[in-house]
Structure 1
Amino acid sequence: MKKIAVIGCGAAGMMAALAAANSGGSVTIFEKNEKPGKKIYITGKGRCNVTNACEVEDYFNYVKRNPRFLYSAVYDFDNRAVMDFFESNGCKLKVERGDRVFPVSDHSSDIIKTLYNAVVKAGVTVVFNANVLSVESSGGVISALTYSVDDDPITREEFDSIIVCTGGMSYPSTGSTGDGYRFAKDAGHSIKEPLPSLVPFEVKESWCKDLQGLSLKNVGLKLFLSDKGDTKAGNGTGENGGSKKAKKPKAVYDGFGEMLFTHFGISGPLILTASCHYEKDKLGKVFIDLKPALNEEQLDKRVLRDFEEGLNKHFKNVLGGLFPSKLIPVMIELSGIDPEKPVHEITKEERQAFVKLIKNLPMEITGTRGFNEAIITRGGVNVKEINPSTMESKLVKGLYFAGEVLDVDTETGGFNLQVAWSTGHLSGVSAAEE
């Protein structure tokens, strides 16, 4: 029976431990917190978006970095297997909009309880309040780890295999403080720079503060990236402000959904997904389409109709049917049209420019919020140094990595937790094999 250590009692860690124990291993989990699954508890706003019920072949379209690396892991333990596991262990699931899977109870604690009970039932030993200090290897083979529990003396314990499931750096209050990167570096691995992902944007425009708390549903968004200092960046209309021969810029992300204005910029599901495509060394601009169901010609007719119905009203008084009240002053200011101007005096050119503004509300990104507000970490252990068929290090035999510590990340919708389940399961099975 192989003696296996799992560092981290989160999604990847518990699944790895369970798979290893069910494959005949003697497994111990070392968890720095006082209880399991602290990060699972806050996922999906406390509801836990367990996975996504999309077709397995479509899953990889939502993986932003290194999707091919996940082929073996996902096909070995896919979303259906995850759903079957929870259902068969008494945690009923439901599928919501976008194929997002949640527990019927809407309580993430039920996911943690189900998983942890299965781990304990499989005979896994769990050591809480354990601070793992180092992972040791000798001659390219894993040998031991050192740890301390509370104020106890440092303990060194030998293991045949060690699985690192420490997570990334997002939500450090849950224990994700980058320990796994240190263990990987000590073993000779390279680390792709960890960055916040699925994270709100900070923007340059001060008017966003005036809209703080305003949520918009069913809007479109395009994200353009260009080199900093490039004045020919996309303007959201397919034009780049440069010469006629210049290539039209292409949006790196074009999505539809819900967003929220904040005191620092913009957030919400649509923004978080867009952040997967943002590059910090680029100039980023987003353009919000407030009326995605209408093209410009249709919207112009709609605006013209509203103008005709309020022909003798002031501009500021005919916009109630187009926007939430909080948004009206901002749209008037950005339009450049005098709010007191009678509607019948607004020129065709002014109206058409206003229509373009509605379809392309511009904002310049100055950065993202930090790890405290990021759902996941982008970057991590270089997957070129990991065997995708086993999750074992190519540098140190018996050392495995699973979950967010790896340089793999996805869009929102349950796809990231599926990374944890799949890589955790594969690493556990592989570590237990003789």
Structure 2
Amino acid sequence: MLNQLRFYHKEPFHFFPPRNIPAISIIVNPLMAEKQFAQLIVVGGGPAGLMAAGQAAGLGVDTVLLEKMEQPGQKLRITGKGRCNLTNVCSQEEFIQHFDRQGLFLRQAFARYFSQDLLDFMDSLQVKTQTERGGRVFPVGEDASDITQKLTHWAASQGVRIQCRTAVQNLLVKDRVFQGVTASDGTVISAQAVILAAGGASFSHTGSSGDGFRMAAEIGHTVVPIRPALVPLKSSGDVCQRLQGLTLHNVEVRVLLDGKVKFKDFGEMLFTHFGVSGPVILSMSGKIVDALREKKKVEISIDLKPALDEAKLDARLLRDMDTHGKQYFRTLLDGLLPQKMVPVMADYCGIAPDKPCHQINAQERALLLHQLKDFRIEIKGHLPLDAAMVTAGGVSLKEVDPRTMQSRLVEGVYFAGEVLDLAADTGGYNLQAAFSTGWLAGNAAAQWLMALSTP
């Protein structure tokens, strides 16, 4: 009863601190496993899976975690460019907004396990954290591999049997009741419940190859079409190629769909040999991918001088041209733009770089003003799903109970992490969602299993 009270109420909050164990317990060959059954199977050893398994085992549930790779957390090791952006300190309401319409689904999970809970948990693992620009939280050590190792050790310390090199082929269901799993080598592992935390379909070399979507569909779940999110974009023409390697700081980027501005963001972007990338581009890429799928014309408009409105910028251009009238146009641009952008801007304006400033007429000045405030690039595509940081789409949220992460279709099946139809922009939001849904699924599955065994 005490565990039930703790689960269904925010206070007092509980997590399980690491127990003293001599070494991590990982089975690398499924045939070496002592038992081919468990109360609970967790499929996938990412942040959601490790958190879920550790929570369930900490409540006394016999738990086995099956991971297809040689060690858990392969994708976690490269998050945040290897620095591991754990979470964000923004409010719960703002957090939810970053997931767009799907965000409301997370309200229950965040109410039970949110950013401060995760930071307290990391502190119990002796991980010190620091908050950076935009509320992003990173470990002080800036080492995602260290986080992965400590999280794996913690799960093992709770009693989780971590079995690597064990790819799950399918879930065994009879009369809409979960029975167990079949491994790719044919081994059958029986269990009363499963938490499917197999990740998305991006960065497949880390093990996230879309297996979870297939397994969910096979037992009757609807899978919202998967597509890339947080993905670099491809552009038309050669402008981005000419600007390759250039990073623009503090610019406003507006996205136009069929000629109309639909959304915008402010921050940093990068030009590549194929198009554009960087935080501000990645954050909006999910919506752009959807627009491209709908065959809409997509353009980005870059305000290169967002701190100045058109009137103030025009006044500055007039002043500079009067003061430095004998200087060349390219010299004027040197004072306004990064050097690599000067010849490109001259081409956009159709003004010769060596034209003296005092010869630039009002029409040409107006064109320059326009380009500085509305530098257009047409977007023709995006990199493939495997290059995306996050997978959009996944198991339909309508078929999952947000209070427990349990399937509404099959008894004993739970979901956690990126396999769900949840995707946010950059800033620690996606990783927090993985930890929160994993925590909730692990606790809920354990409570359900304990209730089954109670006379």
TM beyond 0.5? yes
Is the CA contact 1:64–1:411 (under 8 Å) kept in the aligned structure 2?
Answer: no
Is the CA contact 2:38–2:189 (under 8 Å) kept in the aligned structure 1?
Answer: no
Deviations 1:402-421 (A, max 9, x none): 11011011110000001101
Distance 1:368 1:170 in 2: 14
Distance 1:409 1:62 in 2: 8
The two structures have a TM-score, normalised by structure 2, of: 0.88
User: Residue 307 of structure 1: which of 299, 311, 321 is its match?
Assistant: 321
AA of the residue aligned to 1:62: H
AA of the residue aligned to 1:130: T
Deviations 1:62-93 (A, max 9, x none): 11241111111111111111111001221111
Distance 2:101 2:54 in 1: 27
Alignment of 1:342-381 (within 5 A): 342-381=356-395
Match of 1:293 in 2: 307
Q: Secondary structure at 1:136's aligned position in 2?
A: strand
User: Residue 79 of structure 1: which of 101, 112, 115 is its match?
Assistant: 115
Is the CA contact 1:64–1:408 (under 8 Å) kept in the aligned structure 2?
Answer: no
AA of the residue aligned to 2:440: L
Q: Secondary structure at 1:285's aligned position in 2?
A: strand
Further displaced range: 57-66 or 391-400: 57-66
Offset of residue 366 of structure 1: 0.5
Distance 1:170 1:214 in 2: 26
Distance 1:22 1:123 in 2: 7
Q: Secondary structure at 1:24's aligned position in 2?
A: coil
Match of 2:156 in 1: 120
Match of 1:221 in 2: 253
Greater RCO, CA 8 A, separation 6+: 1
Distance 2:51 2:369 in 1: 52
Further displaced range: 19-28 or 284-293: 19-28
- 1:15 partnered with 2:51: yes
- Structure 2 residues not aligned, in runs of 5+: 1-36
- Give the CA RMSD over aligned residues: 1.3
- 1:387 partnered with 2:397: no
Distance 2:237 2:324 in 1: 31
Offset of residue 341 of structure 1: 2.3
Q: Secondary structure at 2:394's aligned position in 1?
A: strand
Offset of residue 2 of structure 1: 7.3
C-alpha spacing 1:174/1:161, structure 2 compared with 1 (3 Å): same
Alignment of 1:7-406 (within 5 A): 7-148=43-184, 153-226=185-258, 233-234=259-260, 251-278=261-288, 279=290, 280=292, 281=294, 282-406=296-420
The two structures have a TM-score, normalised by structure 1, of: 0.92
Deviations 1:302-346 (A, max 9, x none): 222221222012212321110111100000000112323221121
Deviations 1:232-284 (A, max 9, x none): x13xxxxxxxxxxxxxxxx3321111111000000101110011321222221
AA of the residue aligned to 1:422: S
Distance 2:257 2:397 in 1: 26
Deviations 1:138-180 (A, max 9, x none): 11110010114xxxx5211111100110111111111111100
AA of the residue aligned to 1:181: F
Distance 2:412 2:255 in 1: 42
AA of the residue aligned to 1:107: D
Further displaced range: 285-294 or 341-350: 341-350
Q: Secondary structure at 1:105's aligned position in 2?
A: coil
Match of 1:243 in 2: none
Distance 1:127 1:252 in 2: 47
Distance 1:46 1:262 in 2: 21
Is the CA contact 1:140–1:396 (under 8 Å) kept in the aligned structure 2?
Answer: yes
- Structure 1 residues not aligned, in runs of 5+: 227-232, 235-250
Q: Secondary structure at 1:221's aligned position in 2?
A: strand
Distance 2:317 2:146 in 1: 50
AA of the residue aligned to 1:270: V
AA of the residue aligned to 2:272: T
AA of the residue aligned to 2:383: R
Is the CA contact 2:38–2:64 (under 8 Å) kept in the aligned structure 1?
Answer: no
